[in-house]
Amino acid sequence: MVVTSHYLASQVGVDVLKAGGNAVDAAVATGLALAVVHPGAGNIGGGGFMVVHLKDGTVTAFDFRERAPLRSHETMFLDSLGQYVEDLNHEGYLSVGVPGTVAGFDMALKKFGSRSWKTLAEPAVRLADKGFPLSWSMAESFKGYASDWRKFPASAKSFLRSDTVYYQPGDIWKQPDLAKTLRRVQRSGRDGFYKGETARLLAADMKAHGGLITEEDLAAYEAKERSPIRGTYRGYEVISMCPPSSGGTVLVEMLNILEGFELGAYGHNSAAYLHALAEAMRRAFADRARYLGDPDFNADMPVARLTSKEYAADLRRTISLNTVSKSPPSTLQFPEEDDHTTHYSIVDGEGNAVVVTYTLEYWYGSRIVADGLGFLLNNEMGDFNHIPGRTDSTGDIGTRPNLIQPGKRMLSSMTPTIIAKNGKPWALIGSPGGRTIINTVAQVVLNLIDFRMNVAEAVSAKRIHHQWQPDVMRLEVNTTSRDSERLLEMMGHRLRRNGYQGRVMAIVIEDSTGVRWGASDPRDVDAAAVGY
Q: Examine residue 291 and state whether it is found in any structural domain, yes or no.
A: yes
156 and 304 in a common domain: no
pLDDT in the model for residue 399:
59
pLDDT in the model for residue 331:
44
pLDDT in the model for residue 333:
44
332 and 237 in a common domain: yes
Q: Examine residue 489 and state whether it is found in any structural domain, yes or no.
A: yes
Is 214 an active-site residue? no
pLDDT in the model for residue 87:
85
Of 341, 342, 359, 415, which one is the catalytic site residue?
341
361 and 432 in a common domain: no
pLDDT in the model for residue 389:
54
Of 402, 425, 440, which residue sits at a domain end?
402
CA atoms within 13 A on the CB side of 104: 33
429 and 365 in a common domain: no
69 and 108 in a common domain: yes
pLDDT, one tens digit per residue, over 173-201 is 999 999 999 999 999 999 999 999 999 99
State the average pLDDT over residues 107-120.
98
Q: Look up the pTM and report it.
A: 0.95
- Domain with residue 496: its CATH number is 1.10.246.130
Q: How far is the C-alpha of 384 from the C-alpha of 398, rounded, in Å?
A: 9
CA atoms within 13 A on the CB side of 106: 21
pLDDT in the model for residue 139:
97
pLDDT, one tens digit per residue, over 237-265 is 999 999 999 999 999 999 999 999 999 99
Q: Examine residue 408 and state whether it is found in any structural domain, yes or no.
A: no
Q: Examine residue 76 and state whether it is found in any structural domain, yes or no.
A: yes
pLDDT in the model for residue 174:
98
Host domain of residue 327: 229-336+413-513
Q: Which amino acid is at 86?
A: E
pLDDT band at 338 (very low <50, low <70, confident <90, very high): low
166 and 86 in a common domain: yes
176 and 40 in a common domain: yes
In SS3 terms, 441-491 reads as: HHHHHHHHHCCCCCHHHHHHCCCEECCCCCCCEEEECCCCCHHHHHHHHHH
* pLDDT above 80: residue 269: yes
pLDDT in the model for residue 339:
57
Of 402, 432, 455, which residue sits at a domain end?
402
37 and 24 in a common domain: yes
How many domains in the chain? 2
Q: Which amino acid is at 498?
A: N
Q: Examine residue 7 and state whether it is found in any structural domain, yes or no.
A: yes
391 and 431 in a common domain: no
pLDDT in the model for residue 328:
52
pLDDT in the model for residue 332:
45
Q: Examine residue 56 and state whether it is found in any structural domain, yes or no.
A: yes
pLDDT in the model for residue 471:
87
pLDDT in the model for residue 185:
98
CA atoms within 13 A on the CB side of 410: 32
Q: Examine residue 518 and state whether it is found in any structural domain, yes or no.
A: no
* pLDDT above 70: residue 364: yes
Q: Examine residue 190 and state whether it is found in any structural domain, yes or no.
A: yes
pLDDT in the model for residue 435:
87
